[in-house]
Amino acid sequence: MSEDREIARAVWEGKLPIKFVLAESEMSSVEKPEPFYAMVHRVFYLSQLADKLQRHFIEYINKQQLDEVWFEYSGCKLKWHCPVGLLYDLLAAEESLPWIVTVHLTDFPRSELLRSGNSLDNLQSYFIMSIKEADALRHRSQVMSNLQKSDYNKLWFGFKEANFDQFWSVNRRLIERIYDEPFKYIPFKIYDSELSSKTKLVSPVSYDSAQVTTLWHLLKQVLPEITCAKIANKRLAVLIHGLDVGLDIPVQWLSENLSYPDNFLHIALVSPKSSLD
C-alpha cells in the first residue's frame, strides 16, 4: 500500500490559490476591504473558511443584515458540499490564478442553495455520512460498522486539520479490498457545469463477462449517448482532481487512488474553450 499512500498524499496536498472578495452590493462602508488570500486544499470545502471570511469582511457590511456566508463565481452560486477543487475544475479550470471567488454575508439564496449554518458540525455530519455511503457501496458497510468512535474522530479531525497521516491511519482500511475481492460498487458522482450530478450502481467488474470496468465503460453506463460522443470527440474533458484522466483506466484503481476524502470519485465534465462554438 506504500505506492497507494503516496498517490493519496499527492492528491491530499494539492492546493489552489484563491482570492476572496466581498460582494460590492453588500458593502456599507466607503472604504473597501482588502481581499482575503488563501492557499486552499483542493479536497476541502469552502464552508471551512466561512468563519475566517466573516471576521475579515463583517466590518464592511450592515451587520443587521448579516446572514449565512455563501459564495459565488461569475454569477454561479457555489454549493458548500462540493469540494473546492471540483468547483474550480467545473467553472474556472482554464482561468488564470488566483481563482477569484465572491463572498456574500447577506441575502442567502435559500431557494437555490442548501444552508450549512456555517457550522463545522453540519459539515462533519455530511462528511461522515458520505464516507458511510461509500463504504456501503464498496463493502456493504463492513468496514464502517467495525470502526470505533476514536476512528471516526481520526477521520474527521485528520481531514479538518489537514493531518494526512491521522486521516490515512483509518481511511486506508476503507479503500482496501476485502479478501482481495474488487469492490461491490464504485462510489462516484459525475458533474456538469451547472453543478448537477449523476450517479448509478456500477460494478468494477462485469460479473457476466468478467470484463474489467474502465472509466469509459462507467461513463457510457451513466451518460446520454450525445454526451459520450462529445467526450469521444474531445469536446468534453473528463477531469478528476484537475487531471485529464485516461478513459481506459479501471474504475477500481481510480476509486482506490483518486477518491476524495469523502471516499467518492468526483468526476468533472468540462468543455475546453477551444471546443466551444
Q: What is the pLDDT of residues 44-88, one digit of tens each?
A: 999 999 999 999 999 999 999 999 999 999 999 999 999 999 999
Our CA dihedral for 80, 81, 82, 87, rounded to 10 degrees, sits at 0
pLDDT at 30: 86
Strand ranges across the sheet with 237-240:
197-198, 188-191, 265-270, 237-240, 243-244
Other CB atoms within a 10 A radius of the CB of residue 239 amount to 21
Whether the pLDDT of residue 206 is over 90: the answer is no
Using CA atoms, how far apart are residues 58 and 62, in angstroms rounded to an integer? 8
pLDDT at 274: 57
- Read off the pLDDT of residues 248-273 as tens digits, 9 standing for 90 and up: 999 999 999 999 999 999 999 999 87
Q: Considering only CA atoms, which of 141, 136, 139 is closest in space to residue 181?
A: 139
Whether the pLDDT of residue 196 is over 90: the answer is yes
pTM over 0.85, yes/no? yes
Are residues 183 and 252 in contact, defined by beta-carbon separation less than 8 angstroms? yes
Locus of grid cell 490559490? 17
Are residues 239 and 260 in contact, defined by beta-carbon separation less than 8 angstroms? no
pLDDT at 29: 84
Whether the pLDDT of residue 213 is over 50: the answer is yes
Q: Residue 41 in 3-state DSSP?
A: strand
Q: Considering only CA atoms, which of 109, 270, 79 is closest in space to residue 192?
A: 270
